[in-house]
Amino acid sequence: MPRDSAVNRRSFLKAAGGAAAAATLAGCAADPDETSPSDGGDGGSGGGNASDGGDGGSGGGNVLTYARGNDSGTLDPQNTTSGEDVKVTNQVYDQLIMFKPGETSLREGLATDWSLEGTTASLTLREGVKFHNDEEFTAEDVVATYNRFVNPDYEHYPGDDYISAYGPFTLGNWVDEVTTDGDYTVTMQLSQQYAPFLRNLAMFAASILSKKAIEEMGTDLKSNPIGTGPFQFENWDNSNQRIRLSANGDYWGDAPKVDEVVFTAVGSNTSRAQTLDSGGANIIDGIGAQASKIVDNSSNAELVEKAGINIGYMAFNMAKVEAFREKKVRQAISYAVNTKAIVDTIYKGIAEQASQPIPSNVMGYNESLDPYPQDLDQAQSLLEEAGYGDGFSFELATFKNPRTYNPSPIQAAQTVKSNLAEVGIEVSINQQSFNPFLDYTSAGNHDACFLGWMTDNADPDNFYYSLLHPGVSTDDVPDGQDWVSFDAEGYNTLNSAGWANTDFMSLVEEAQKTYDESARTSNYKEAAQIAHDEAPWVFIDHAKELRGVGNRVEGFTLAPIGGPFLNLVSLK
């Protein structure tokens, strides 16, 4: 960000490409598949061939088939924290500001011009845009979108249990008021200077909804989305885990080059790769080490890769497990878990060890920090100093299906269990389908859990505040305590550790309030040191983004944030 307090659109676009990130939203030698064909909602080979029953596939005409590891849980961008949902909603909805395909820099979206000066953001809206319900897009839709997401007093607010944790940290914590001046001018008054704000407007969670759809459909938008995007919703076959979209012929931007897109779920990594190789899918993601070899060796597809902007970790729930409130216990477990073996042997070749919450291609990365090495003697010594020399037991919750930051979660969990048994800690593994797992961890029901994060906006705040700030005031953290309960008022449920270190919180808050990039960088490096030393997580990995792309596909751009940009894809 520029060092003065005024950021206009042109100077911000120039700075944004390099300021936040240089690059660009998790198998042993054995087969890394963890999901059986009968594994219910998590996919499996039962959803493998998208061309079954005339449902599309690479041989089904001008239909693009995208195979992934898990079905969506909702298609309302204000009702989700799941990347699986976002893959679909990003086709249906647009944001005011958007990311350039495959980059971290910003471009025009539903807004054609904007400025951020102090605490005032002003946006000029695009004219002539229509929603899929044929309603014209105006400033009133922006106001309604904001109110539905963050204003409990709004007549059409769908409720705290429905709105996702993205509401507060995307808009709610920062925007006091949204006003209009005619149909195509919007002013957002912020409660404080907030450096990542323009990037937040490009996040999926800031997608613009139709005021009429909000009023008429309410929470039915989760199964019948209505946006302004390049594709419009057709149907969702839950039993076969397939979502069908059709091209929006009136799209304001780059018109789709295919007639339809079908998202289908295939829970097994290798089955998904085989589906691509056989022509049953055009693009796949969620690729583990073994699956990447299948794609790489295929004559019908290629493996596309790019540096990711993500983190994979194991969070300690301090609000629930008393032992985790001891820093030495958390450090001991970090020393006991062989993250190098997980990265080198299980995630072979597709990830690197992590030492802190952000990867090296994000502003504020602290180069002086090293990953915790496995040191069982040190781990045992720390446990004894903390009064847990005889060990204890806890549950490790994990999702079953592959994620970019953890492509083989069951094997990784088994490795953690084996490592900790060597220092007397007994681990039971609780495997769950992805969407129920997210509900489970958001409610704080886990002891410890595997989680990860693929950035929404490539700003360090999107890691540090979104994942490790509890969302409460430093004044509300009890003296001598570095955690708070999940039922604390305003608690940020994305903070799965319950961690509330006031020094860390203050640094992150200060970094939000300045537009001076050097000051922000310094704050984040110091915050990284605290996070490393206090160990609220076992820092596991930063993974590459991998996609399998069939030979018929042209124009595909791998985009770690803001994508996939399927309107740019054509089929030979």
Mean pLDDT of the chain: 90
565 burial via Cβ count (<10 Å: 0-12, 13-18, 19+) = buried
Residue 407 — very low, low, confident or very high, per pLDDT cuts 50/70/90?
confident
CA nearest 30: which of 288, 413, 284, 304?
A: 288
Residue that the structure tokens 């005032």 belong to: 120
Q: Which of 22-31, 195-204, 384-393 has the lowest mean pLDDT?
A: 22-31
pLDDT of the residue at 12: 38
Rg value, the chain, Cα? 23
The two structure tokens encoding residue 42: 């998590």
Mean pLDDT lowest among 26-35, 58-67, 499-508:
26-35
**CATH fold label, 310-543:** Dipeptide-binding Protein; domain 3 (3.10.105)
pLDDT in tens, 526-570: 999 999 999 999 999 999 999 999 999 999 999 989 999 999 999
Query: Stretch 235-260: mean pLDDT, rounded?
Result: 97
CA quadruple 24, 28, 30, 32: dihedral, nearest 10: -40
Q: What span, in angstroms and rounded, lies between the C-alpha atoms of 69 and 402?
A: 6
Across 39-53, 186-200, 282-296, 505-519, least confident range: 39-53
Residue 140: half-sphere exposure toward Cβ, Cα within 13 Å: 11
The answer, yes or no, to whether residue 239 has pLDDT greater than 80, is yes
On the question of pLDDT at 49 being above 50, the answer is no
Q: CA 329, CA 379: separation in Å to the nearest integer?
A: 8
CB atoms within 10 A of CB 370: 10
* Confidence band of 61 (pLDDT split at 50, 70, 90): low
Q: How far is it, in rounded angstroms, from Cα 425 to Cα 278?
A: 45
Q: Is 40 left (phi over 0), alpha (psi -120 to 50) or beta?
A: left
394 three-state secondary structure: strand
pLDDT of the residue at 348: 86
Query: Is a pLDDT exceeding 80 seen at residue 467?
Result: yes
pTM of the predicted model as reported, rounded to 2 decimal places: 0.83
The whole-number pLDDT of residue 13 equals 42
Mean local confidence (pLDDT), 333-344: 97
d(CA 383, CA 422): 12
The model's pLDDT over 95-154, given as tens digits with 9 standing for 90+, comes to 999 999 999 999 999 999 999 999 999 999 999 999 999 999 999 999 999 999 999 999
Tokens of 94: 């647009």
Helices (H), 194-349: 197-200, 211-217, 269-278, 289-296, 327-336, 339-341
User: What's the average model confidence in pLDDT over 343-359?
Assistant: 94
pLDDT at 31: 31
Closest CA relative to residue 188, chosen from 138, 143, 129: 143
Of 384 and 268, more confident: 384
Domain limits of the chain? 40-91+229-307+549-554+562-571, 94-220, 310-543
Q: What is the mean pLDDT of residues 454-483?
A: 95
The pLDDT of residue 42 is above 70: no
Say yes or no to pLDDT of 352 above 90: yes
Q: What is the CATH number of domain 40-91+229-307+549-554+562-571?
A: 3.40.190.10
DSSP 374: P
**Displacement of CA 154 from its chain's centroid (Å):** 27
For CA atoms 500, 501, 503, 504, the dihedral sign is negative
d(Cα 422, Cα 437) in Å, to the nearest integer?
Answer: 28
Average pLDDT of the residues in 242-259: 97
Instruction: Annotate 122-139 with DSSP letters as a single string.
Output: EEEEPSS-B-TTSPBP-H
pLDDT over threshold 60, residue 18: no
Share of the chain above pLDDT 90, in %: 85
- Which CATH fold topology does 94-220 show? Dipeptide-binding Protein; domain 1 (3.90.76)
Whether residue 384 has pLDDT greater than 60? yes
